[in-house]
Structure 1
Amino acid sequence: MTESPGTPTEHAGARTARRRYGVVCALFWLPPGLAMAPLVLLFTERGMALTAVAGFFAAHSVTAAVLELPTGGLSDVLGRRPVLALAGVLDAAALAILALATTAWPLTAGMVLLGAGRALASGPAEAWYVDTVQACDGPGAELRTGLARGSAATSGALATGLLLGGGLPWLLGRGPDLGARLAEATSRAVLPLSVPVLLGAVVEIVFVCYVLVALREPPRPPATPRSVLRGVPGAVRGGLRLGGRDVLVRRVLLSGAAAGGALAALELLTPGRARALTGGAESGALLYAALACAGFVCAGVGSHLAPLASRVAGSGERAVLCGLGAGAAGLALLGLTALSSHPLPAALAVLGFGLVQLGFGAAGPNQNDLLHRRVPGTARATALSLQSLAQQSAGALTGVLVGAMTPGPLPWLLTAAVLLSGALLWMRRTDRTAPAVNSSTTTRPAV
């Protein structure tokens, strides 16, 4: 069987799975994009202090980290579709609460629900795609193209959501001031800043309906509370053992942690850099929003080019090496230009920002393609959750360390060095022999 997508030897179910996976990625990540721009401002408009806002986001991060592995195990035991649908239900409820709540405790509950939904959704969709394609075309099925398209759809949805989330409140404040009328009609329960968040809740409902209708998977043994309670810890233990003894999986986790730290530094340091370049908080926020949107576009382009990167580099490992290396070069460029506000260094800094996102976009699908060929279907979602946990944990630690440093080149250059060390892990090729595919992934599903 040839590995080129869309050839006559490729089962039609694999092409359908690729398309549905892209739609699922877009529908799931559009709501976070819609909420990204207005959420902090909405909290402060409700009278929350910045310390309270930081506490809300901490509640989200802690919840996601604590539930990451158990929810991955739940997906491996219970199935991809029900866990993904539950994630959408929790996210819809969370966004509705965040859009309408006016006091601290409901807002905290909304962020906790959002963190739980994020943990539930961190692996099932991708695991469903790989399971389905391997069931249709066998264990050697071509995965990279679908993973790249899913990643590109994610970046595109985030960029679109960011633009809509920032633009809708502004549009509501224009002309006859529809925003003031809306707030008055709802006794200030719905503010202009609430509208993108409520729209995100609606999209989440569409997401749940699509998942329940489109993501068909092979029948599993009926789940009972006892089987779930026994199966989830076993799946988690199996994923941890795999991460400890398998060289390739360990590389994925370590380089993922390096990438998570780099992204955390990028998100933490760029707003201040944008403010320094423009000379004002409001103009800096506008520049950062434009940069974030452009960054998602660059990540989407990199993801789309991931299969080409693998062919040009000669292997998936070398493509990951080049992608993460490009990200490290972008961070170094940001560091080298951090001491000057001259237009030329500023333009080079923007180039470095885009290079980081482009490199990460190209590296991600190639890295996950290697991971899925090594991990059996019974531990696939757990492995993805373990990867997400490594990224989030490293990101949280990096945020604390970088936040304690004096602004300037040093935080950027240290982060670049860490990311480069993660890239160098991929200099040597590894044995690609994968474990036997679990029977649950060899039954051809109805797609």
Structure 2
Amino acid sequence: MSGTTAGLPEAGDDASAPRTPAPTGRGLDPLTARRRFTTVSFLFWLPTGMFIATGVLLLTDRGMGLAAIAGFFAVHSLTAAAMELPTGGLSDVVGRRAVLTTAGLLNLTAFTLIGLASSAWAVTLGMALMGCARALSSGPAEAWYVDTVHAHAGPEADLRTGLARGSSAMSAGLALGTLLGGGLPWLLGLGGGIREWLTDATGGLVIPLSVPALLSALVEVVFVLYVLSALPEPPRPPATLRGVVGGVPAAIGAGLRLGAQDALIRRILLTASAAGAALAAVELLTPGRAAALMGTAESGAVIFAGLACAGFVCSAIGNQLAPPTARLTRSSERAVLAGYAVMALGLVLLGLTATSTGPFAAAIAAIGYGLVYLGLGAASPNTKDLLHRRVDASGRATALSVQSLALLLVAAAAGLGVGALEPGPLPWLLVAAVVLAGALLWARRAAPAKPYPKGAATVMPEQPAARCGRDDA
């Protein structure tokens, strides 16, 4: 298938310093917060999975060429990248729940537009709204969960299990959504006259391939209602236009400075970049490889859909393995190293079988594909655990946005680079080397963060900042 505050106080920082309440749902216990975070993660990504399964086919059926469809998806990616930092800062200014609700409403509009649209401008608008929603969603739910746990149990509380459950729920939503989205049009097509009935009854606006997108819009309604009812936050100071406009750039600047000031954050951003390169290679090269193995594009598309679902399942399994991996390796750093090493191994297997044919080569390639997602799934919650223990609540969503931005930008660049190379082992092995380099960054433990100057801990003066940062290195 996503910097923070200007100050990162250590656990032993001045106890007499004034402490203001964290912007969280203080009354929720960690188990309840974990369940709600898991549900939100599932509900947000389920519609995306349904759209992934049929999006390209729907637009093709509407008479749009592949070049136009590629342009639509480019609009999505560029919008998400451009909005990543500003929307992360917005969450730290106006609150997690408000931003998540906005993301759900934007996705609702986007899926409705794309499901019903027959014109290029409407699809373009829908993809832009979806990209904006993607950027809005990249940090608030996770930041809400971490803030809530810290407020209830303190900065020493376990985060890995909840983060792993959230990541597993995301993968499960994508996997289930892919199966539903791919199966619904096929099932509707078995009815014979259903396609004609839908076309006649809606004037051609609704066809079987558009049903997953429209169903995704309905799921977004459930998502918005759940966010509003299940993610409580204490009242924040009224967000004036001046406060929002002034606070967001401050949060962005703090996030960018943090990568330069803190060695651990730099490692996290570099490993996110390595993951972006790996995912770009897998998503770009695997469909063509599947088609080559099967002999036809149609058969290859079916195999790739199955592989995508299997990849999400492997990612979910890796998420569940993240806490025991950290316990077995005795640190989050070594757990990240192990996860990225598994990813690199999977990419090597894909490279070694890039020009081979036959069932044995296909089986080895499938194992390699699964290892990429398994390793990433195991590494991700441990990376996030390190990140959240390094930052405090006043810029947590911004930190996640910086991490997501690093992945998006490198994925875009890596995709262009991989696409320019001749198909074969070389692209896979180059990306495997990048991922292995990312793994080796964690061969040694990070040094403790240096305390920042007094008064620098709050990014946005308009908002109370909780001193929840802890040095876990």
What TM-score, normalized to structure 2?
A: 0.90
Q: Which residue of 2 aligns with 1:168?
A: 184
**1:149 aligned partner:** 165
1:312-360 per-residue CA deviation (whole Å, 9 max, x = no partner) reads 1111000000001100100000000111112112111100000000000
CA distance in structure 2 between the aligned counterparts of 1:197 and 1:43, rounded to whole angstroms: 11
Contact map agreement 1:263 1:395 (CA 8 A) in 2: yes
Summarize the alignment of residues 3-402 of structure 1 with structure 2, pairs less than 5 Å apart. 13-402=29-418
1:320–1:364 contact (8 Å) kept in structure 2: yes
| Distance in 2 (alpha carbons) for counterparts of 1:59 and 1:420 | 31
Q: Aligned with 2:238: secondary structure? A: coil
**3-state DSSP class of the match of 1:193?**
helix
CA pair 106-203 structure 1, distance change in 2 beyond 3 A: same
User: How much has 1:140 moved relative to structure 2?
Assistant: 1.3
1: distance between equivalents of 2:87 and 2:366? Answer: 37
String of CA shifts for 1:11-36, please: whole Å, max 9, x gaps: 96111100000000000000100100
SS of the counterpart of 2:192?
A: coil
Q: Is this contact kept in 1: 2:77–2:131, CA < 8 A?
A: yes
Q: Secondary structure at the match of 2:29?
A: helix
Query: How far, CA to CA, are the matches of 1:301 and 1:159 in structure 2?
Result: 12
Matched to 1:405, the amino acid is L
- The letter for the 2-side match of 1:296 is F
The letter for the 2-side match of 1:149 is R
Q: Show CA shifts across 1:398-437 (max 9, x none).
A: 1111111111111111110111111111111013559798
Question: CA–CA distance in 1 between the matches of 2:55 and 2:358?
Answer: 32
CA offsets, 1:205-246, max 9 Å, x none? 110110011101232211100111111111111111111110
Q: State the partner residue of 2:425.
A: 409
Distance between the aligned counterparts of 1:432 and 1:127, measured in 2?
Answer: 22
Amino acid at match of 1:206: V
Deviations 1:118-145 (A, max 9, x none): 0111100000000000000011111000
Inter-CA distance 15–434: structure 2 relative to 1 (3 Å threshold): farther
In the aligned structure 1, how far is the partner of 2:123 from the partner of 2:223?
23
User: Which one has more relative contact order, counting CA pairs under 8 Å at least 6 apart?
Assistant: 2
1:141-172 per-position Cα deviation (integer Å, ceiling 9, x unaligned)? 11000000000000000000000000000001
* Contact 2:262 2:449 survives alignment (8 Å): no
Identify unmatched segments of 5+ residues in structure 1: 1-10
CA contact (8 A) 1:169 1:179 kept: no
3-state DSSP of counterpart to 1:37: helix
Match of 2:438 in 1: 422
Superposed CA RMSD in Å reads: 1.5
Match of 1:429, SS state, is coil
How many angstroms apart in 2 are the aligned matches of 1:191 and 1:35? 14
On the 8 A contact 1:318/1:427 being kept in 2, the answer is yes
Q: Return the alpha-carbon distance in structure 2 between the equivalents of residues 301 and 152 of structure 1.
A: 7
Could you tell me whether the CA contact under 8 Å between 2:341 and 2:436 is conserved in 1? yes
Contact kept, 8 Å, 2:393 with 2:467, in 1: the verdict is: no
Q: Any gaps of 5 or more consecutive residues in structure 2? A: 1-26, 459-463, 469-473
- 1:375 and 1:435 in contact (8 A); partners too: no
Contact 1:134-1:442 within 8 A present in 2 as well: no
Contact between 2:189 and 2:208, CA under 8 Å: does it hold in 1?
Answer: yes
SS at match of 2:254: helix
Name the CA distance, whole Å, in 2 between partners of 1:433 and 1:220.
29
Q: Which amino acid aligns with 2:133?
A: G
TM-score (norm. length: structure 1):
0.95
CA distance in 1, matches of 2:450, 2:223: 33
Percent identity among equivalent residues?
61
